[in-house]
Amino acid sequence: MLALRVVSPALRLTASFARIASALAAAALVASCEPGATSAVSTRAPDGRGVPATAADVSVERVVLQAYRAIADRHILTPDFRQLSAETYRGFTSGDPALSLDAGDKVFAVYRDGRQVLSRTAPSDVTDGRAWGSMLAELFSGSLEASPALKLADRQTLIKQAMTATTRQLDRNSRYADPDEARENRFQRDGGGGIGITVERVDERHVVVRNVQDGGPAAKAGIRAEDRIVEVDGEPIGDRPLSEVVRRLRGTIGAPIQVTLFRPAEQRNFSVAFKRARIVPTTVAYERRGDTAFIRLTGFNTATTENLRSTIERARADIGRDMAGLIVDMRGNRGGLLDQAVSVSEVFLGDGLIFATQGRHPDSRRSYRGSGRKSGDLPVVVLLNGQSASAAEIVAAALQDRGRAAIVGSTSYGKGTVQTVVRLANEGELVLTWSRLHAPSGYTWNELGVMPNICTSKVGDIDRLAADAAEANRSTLVRWHAARNPTTEEVAQLRQNCPPADGLSDRDVAIATKLLQDRDLYARAVRAGTDLAYR
């Protein structure tokens, strides 16, 4: 999902730029919008805040008014609010089948068991989101009074039903996140108070520490991977839902915590007391593989670029002057913050055009150019698969178009849009598609994806990998980059040239290593992906 984070009901954007266009861009989030894209078990970056006491009591009417105003102002397309309102209402009342809606051209009438209970005049302008939101709020209020089932229903559930029905009508990347999911999304992006571990429930009695963040409070307290959490602040957690365990581990920065654990290797329980700190999830991991630096990039949050730069320097010091190059593994990377996609690209490109955006709102139309320092000119191979999306695709498309890296793997997901994240009054988030992304050469990979320079599935014997393997994709890449508004059929045909793959194939790494060992082969692969129309 490429999204712009709006942090208040007044639609104020968090950014450090003076103009709103820059604010929108800098706060943009480039991450897949598919549910489940963010891990719910990581305890490494809570925001340190719970839902305000008033959030659970926020009226559905207030939320729908805010949402409809945001849709009218910011969605990439001009919505038909007549159709949208009908579907939103049906989602809202889905818990009471006795209620029905007659969405006429001039009047919206609500019936209960076949008897009309209220009606409202439909606004004449189908693009006036504020007017339709106001009408819908009145229908919600009247329906709550007319329906015992809705009156007893949880307000957050009603909001989720209404907002999910709304976003389903917009596009595949617009969505609603309830307060719990929204908080998870925020700490994955921005960090917050935590202890620096990732946990997993392995059975109904045991929660296991899977990863411990270097330098975090848990690491300093001596907690290790595979330790099992027994108690948090004196409360047993064995049979508690994992989400509750995570909430207990998170908290205000600086707040004390005591954790009791069982260490299987030593067959003993032990307790540690320490303080929570600001934790940002680790998105960069390094492994030396001979004379090559293998860097795994799992997401784009506020610390990604800084960690990437320091990781490259660490690799240089570790491997030395004979370092052959970098393999940047972005397979499965679902995205993150837009400004980090820009700055990560700058690490490899320095200056020049990185990408451009186009949308309905005037502030959505702009170009993003690098202005940062480049971390050397070492050869780079980027790994992609069918789950690489958004920010990962921005970086890959820019490096490919600019002739800075060879892309290896399969066609990526095809998430080529930016979303704005509107923080709603109930502490949930409305994610709206705001603009479409364009690579330096001008093509858009939305739905299409980024095509690799070398498609792993088309390579036979890796040991005999030759220049013709790199050149084989040349004609396809030319057609790929020439496609400006491909039809669904054209997209499907193009993607069949290198079908999206899941998983982490060892063949991808083997091909990348082969390229870095053969500079002539690497140069030919890079040229095969460079669009000659780029300036």
Query: Hey, which residues are catalytic here?
Result: 390, 401, 415
Helix axes 155-168, 81-92, angle to 10 degrees: 150
DSSP state letters, 343-384:
HHHHHHH-EEEEEEEE-SSGGG-EEEEEES-------EEEEE
Dist CA 244 CA 226 (whole Å): 20
SS3 169: coil
Contacts of 419 (CB under 8 A, 6+ apart): 1, 2, 3, 4, 28, 29, 33, 173, 174, 431, 432, 433, 434
Burial class for 113, CB neighbours closer than 10 Å (0-12, 13-18, 19+)? exposed
SS3 59: coil
DSSP category for residue 362: G
Dist CA 185 CA 198 (whole Å): 15
Q: Tokens in use for 23?
A: 């604010």
Q: Tokens in use for 387?
A: 């789950």
Dist CA 483 CA 382 (whole Å): 23
Helix axes 519-529, 474-482, angle to 10 degrees: 30
Q: What are phi and psi of 269, to 5 degrees?
A: -90, 150
**Do 480 and 473 touch, CB atoms closer than 8 A?**
no
Q: Tokens in use for 443?
A: 């093509």
Helix axes 506-517, 519-529, angle to 10 degrees: 110
DSSP category for residue 464: G
Beta strands 380-384; 284-289: pairing state: unpaired
Contacts of 4 (CB under 8 A, 6+ apart): 13, 24, 25, 27, 28, 29, 74, 338, 418, 419, 420, 421, 434
